[in-house]
Amino acid sequence: MEKFIELFAEQFDDIDIATLNAQTRFRELQGWTSLVALLVITMVDEEYGVVLPPEEMRKTQTIQELYNLVQSKL
């Protein structure tokens, strides 16, 4: 999970990783944009070999939920 948060944070232009945890509702983050969303999808594909289905990704709100979704596809 720690590694996932690290990778997740890397997709933002400018974010303090210390402000993120599993319960963070990432869609409410100031730096969350459609571009970051695409970068996250790409990161998950490259790092985990998982292609996130958009409709399932849309339902996730917290980093934990996103992480769980990735895990369920491994």
Partner 1 sequence: MYNPFALIGKTILVTGASSGIGKACAIECSKMGARVVITGRNEERLLSTFEQLEGQGHASISADICQQNDIEQITATTEELDGVVFAAGVSKLKPIMALNEMDLQTVFSTNYFAQALLTKSLLKAKKIRQGASLVYISSISGNGNTATGLSVYGSSKSALTSYVRYAALELSGKQIRCNTILPGRINTDLLQNSTMSDEQIQKDMERYPLKRYGEPEEVAQTAVFLLSDAAKWITGTEIKIDGGRTLV
Half-sphere exposure of 13 (CA within 13 A, CB side): 7
* CB distance 63 to 4 below 8 Å: yes
Candidate list 23, 27, 31, 51; residue touching partner 1; CB under 8 A: 31
Token pair listed for 19? 């402000």
Map the footprint of partner 1 across residues 5-24, applying CB under 8 A.
Answer: 13-14
Tell me the longest C-alpha to C-alpha distance in the chain.
30
CB of 13 to partner 1, least distance (A): 4
**Toward partner 1, which CB reaches closer, 14 or 28?**
14
List of residues contacting partner 1 (CB under 8 A): 13-14, 31, 33, 35
